[in-house]
Amino acid sequence: MGLRKHLSTAEIVEQAVFARKLFSDEFGTITNVVFMGMGEPLHNVDNVIKASSIMVDEQGLQFSPRKVTVSTSGLVPEIKRFLNESNCDLAVSLNATTDEVRDWIMPINRRYNLSTLLGTLREELRLRPKSIVLFEYVMLAGVNDSVDDAKRLTELVRGIACKINLISFNPHSGSQFKPTPDEKIIEFRNMLIQSGLTVMVRLSRGDDQMAACGQLGAAGDYQLPLLRVPEKFQVAL
């Protein structure tokens, strides 16, 4: 779709207000809010910080700050600002354990590489001793799901108060990637747990309806250009 606009503070808060009105009777009280999905939340950092503060204010929507999470692909200056100005939680889409792979699957890494990103988190979280960061890690078959990846991931996050969320990839026609088999995800999880990390696994839901995370409805006619695949991963894809 491309960038249409940034949501205003009011438009963001309105989504939570409307969701409460629409779903609370059927599903119970809505307790969690996550900023993620269609776009990078920290590209709209001013309004995201304002909206999240309204959501957790006693005179606002009264969510717990621990239940409001802002997800980012890794915009370092905006991460610093968010951690200094907001008391909500932060999630970072990591998805790789080397700069070579992350440069490929997450081009933001070419601007803020793993060392810069993780170094910033270590430094900033020292000033927030009660906070932890959630690292989101989408499992891609043959790309980031090896034993070596598990070992590197353990070392990369050492010294950072964190949880790891392993996410099953939901395939679609616009991507060359394939999901890691569930049993291999569990093996990867077990290796991380044995290293002392707190790990959660999010398996796919809604994939049969093209409604799972990252799919968002029927595929359209327009095909985005695919990034060049590094030679050593061409077989995996």
pLDDT tens-place string over residues 87-137: 999 999 999 999 999 999 999 999 999 999 999 999 999 989 889 999 999
The model's pLDDT over 183-231, given as tens digits with 9 standing for 90+, comes to: 999 999 999 999 999 999 986 555 555 454 554 555 566 666 677 788 8
Mean pLDDT, residues 34-56 taken together: 93
The model's pLDDT over 172-184, given as tens digits with 9 standing for 90+, comes to: 777 789 999 999 9
- pLDDT-derived band at 170 (thresholds 50, 70, 90) equals confident
Does residue 33 form part of some domain? Answer: no
Mean pLDDT, residues 24-43 taken together: 89
Cβ-based neighbour number of residue 152 at 10 Å: 16
| CB proximity list for 219: less than 8 A, separation 6 or greater | 172, 173, 174, 210
Does residue 199 form part of some domain? Answer: yes
H or E element that contains 131: none
Distance CA 151, CA 171 (A): 26
Does residue 215 form part of some domain? Answer: no
At position 29, the amino acid (one-letter code) is: T
Cβ-based neighbour number of residue 167 at 10 Å: 21
Nearest to 34 by CA among 83, 90, 84: 90
Distance CA 68, CA 84 (A): 16
Per-residue model confidence (pLDDT) at position 223? 64
Give the total number of structural domains in the chain: 1
Average pLDDT of the chain, as a whole number: 90
Cβ-based neighbour number of residue 140 at 10 Å: 23
The model's pLDDT over 55-70, given as tens digits with 9 standing for 90+, comes to: 999 999 999 999 999 9
Contact assessment for residue 99 and residue 122, using Cβ atoms and an 8 Å cutoff: no
Q: Which of 35-44, 144-153, 216-225 has the lowest mean pLDDT?
A: 216-225
Cα four-point dihedral sign 39, 42, 43, 47 = positive
Return the CATH number at 114. 3.20.20.70
212: DSSP letter: S
93: DSSP letter: E
Instruction: Identify the residue with better confidence: 200 or 170.
Output: 200
Does residue 155 form part of some domain? Answer: yes
Distance CA 229, CA 235 (A): 10
Mean pLDDT, residues 15-19 taken together: 94
pTM (predicted TM-score): 0.89
Cβ-based neighbour number of residue 95 at 10 Å: 22
Does residue 135 form part of some domain? Answer: yes
Residue with tokens 């891609």, as numbered in its chain: 140
Per-residue model confidence (pLDDT) at position 210? 47
Does residue 8 form part of some domain? Answer: no
Q: Over 60: is that where the pLDDT of 164 sits?
A: yes
Does residue 74 form part of some domain? Answer: no
Q: Over 80: is that where the pLDDT of 237 sits?
A: no
Per-residue model confidence (pLDDT) at position 143? 95
Does residue 147 form part of some domain? Answer: yes
Per-residue model confidence (pLDDT) at position 230? 81
Per-residue model confidence (pLDDT) at position 236? 74
Question: Domain range holding 111?
Answer: 94-207
Distance CA 179, CA 177 (A): 7
